[in-house]
Chains A and B, each alone.
Chain A
Amino acid sequence: MQRVAVAGYGLTKFRKNNDSLYTLACESARDLFQNSKNLVQDDVETVLVSTCDNAQYTSSIISEMLGLKPKISHRIENMCNSGGSAIISAYSFIASGLCDVALVVGVEKADSPAARLEWDISRGSFKHPAHWAAMFAKSHMNAYGTTEEQMAMVSVKNHDNALMNPTAYFQNKITLDDVLYSKPVVEPVKLYDCSAPCDGAASLLLVSEERAREFSDQPVWITGIGQRTVSASLSKVSDLTRMESTILAARDAYAAAKIGPDVVDVAEVHDAFTICEILSYEDLGFVKKGEGGMFAQESQSRIDGKIAVNPRGGLIGTGHPIGATGVAQAVEIVTQLRNEAGRRQVKDCKIGLTHNLSAAATSTTIITMGA
């Protein structure tokens, strides 16, 4: 198996306007080409597009618009973890020797069809994801004493981080009271505990070890991947205080990378709701079960904390263009590991990971990078 590195990236400003899916996708890919070393169109052998949009033939269209004629090109959809899924697919094509250079483009418009899991009749009339988030939050609060203030601190942190990220959709400073007094959505989840849809695109260039130095002086190695699907419907979620697919996917990724959670310096996790971030501290192994709330409360997940979590602002701070999110998470980790994060820079970071999930954490994709 070949080792695989990230050799380049591109990102659009996350926003909401009339730009088409294709305009967004190409904007992020142009950004990648402009910031890459030596990369020409003929180098790109694989194009994987991550989107939940209903449009057809998106990877071929985007390839044509970018003047690419890839060997392997198709779309990958896995609801909110489309991005992570597309990255691990590109990784696999390179690791297996099928190609040396792969472009992953994640893109979404704010009004994506993936905002609700229509198939799942077990959710009845309560299809909005805030309903499962509220039940996870209540269960965790009952079991471990997690508080609404601790959840709110996650939102404050991620908004603070987004202020240092010019591509983030949200650029506003909020206080703990702003979150606590924001409109209740589904008790105890309030407006500021939720991520919001928006338009956006992110691109990543993956390359084989053999060709890595052609395209980057600082290739960032993908050291491990892990994915797990436990179901699609909420009806199969047995324990509302943990994200089972995250625990299992993380175990696989850490094993592949031969690391443990204790050496992770920086992580971009899937804060679709603040409770998801608190759960991720536990289910990724950063703290013991039940201690996630305290980790947030003690500011341990801030940029200067024990593990910098969501330095780009996470989903809550940057917005959630569904197909782009998993790719944008990876862009941030690469940026951090290359020391290019400016004001958001996490000091001495060597090892990072991305955590991307869908639908009440019925599936999760994890990618570890660095060292």
Chain B
Amino acid sequence: MSSKCSSCEHVIWPPSNVCPQCLSNKIEWVDIDGKGKLIEFSESFLLEQPSVFGLIELDHKIRLIAKIQCDNVSQLKKGIPVKLVRCGMRNSDPYYEFQPI
């Protein structure tokens, strides 16, 4: 889910109480389709275990960095379609996980 402006219909990401397009404060929650495109990806050695992650673009130009489920980073290519499989909070950070479609 993210924010959507009731006045101008702009979808707001990250979620907010004010619309960056028209400055309205009439904001509602809206469901976001979990299907997107893999913009860039790599492997991180900074978390508890090595994690493949990527920058993903969803509808409405929503972009976020998420963990990517795959057996091997060599399976991934820029531009492939991906879908959200899990999101929530982990260690007080938001957590998103996608997999290639």
Asked if B42 and A186 make an inter-chain contact with CB atoms under 8 angstroms apart, the answer reads: yes
- Taken residue by residue from 8 to 32, chain B's Cβ proximity to chain A (1 for < 8 Å, 0 otherwise) reads as 0000011100000000000000000
Whole-angstrom distance between the Cβ of B20 and the nearest chain A Cβ: 10
Does A36 sit at the interface, judged by CB under 8 A? no
Total A-B Cβ pairs within 8 A: 83
Asked if A134 and B95 make an inter-chain contact with CB atoms under 8 angstroms apart, the answer reads: no
Does A125 sit at the interface, judged by CB under 8 A? yes
Asked if B47 and A125 make an inter-chain contact with CB atoms under 8 angstroms apart, the answer reads: yes
Asked if A124 and B95 make an inter-chain contact with CB atoms under 8 angstroms apart, the answer reads: yes
- Of the candidates B43, B44, B67, B91, the one having the most CB atoms from chain A within 10 angstroms of its own CB is B44
Does A166 sit at the interface, judged by CB under 8 A? no
Asked if A142 and B95 make an inter-chain contact with CB atoms under 8 angstroms apart, the answer reads: no
Q: How far is the CA of A206 from the CA of B34 in the complex (A)?
A: 52
- Taken residue by residue from 119 to 141, chain A's Cβ proximity to chain B (1 for < 8 Å, 0 otherwise) reads as 01111111110110011001100
Within 8 A of A (CB), among B16-75: 39-47, 53-55, 62-67, 73
Asked if A233 and B55 make an inter-chain contact with CB atoms under 8 angstroms apart, the answer reads: no
Asked if B65 and A234 make an inter-chain contact with CB atoms under 8 angstroms apart, the answer reads: yes
Query: CB-CB < 8 A to B46: which residues of A?
Result: 128, 130-131, 185-186
> Do most interface residues of chain B lie in helix, strand or loop, or is the interface mixed?
strand
Asked if B64 and A235 make an inter-chain contact with CB atoms under 8 angstroms apart, the answer reads: yes
Query: CB-CB < 8 A to A128: which residues of B?
Result: 46
Within 8 A of B (CB), among A84-138: 120-128, 130-131, 134-135, 138
Q: How far is the CA of A110 from the CA of B16 in the complex (A)?
A: 32
Does A184 sit at the interface, judged by CB under 8 A? yes
Contacts A128-B46, A186-B45 known; A139 to B65 CB distance under 8 Å? no
Query: CB-CB < 8 A to B55: which residues of A?
Result: 135, 234, 240
Asked if A125 and B63 make an inter-chain contact with CB atoms under 8 angstroms apart, the answer reads: no
Q: Can you add 6 more A-B contacts, CB < 8 Å, to A186-B45, A187-B45, A240-B55?
A: A122-B65, A135-B41, A135-B42, A135-B54, A139-B40, A236-B63
Name 8 interchain pairs, CB-CB below 8 A, sorted by A.
A121-B15, A124-B95, A130-B44, A187-B42, A187-B43, A188-B42, A233-B14, A240-B40
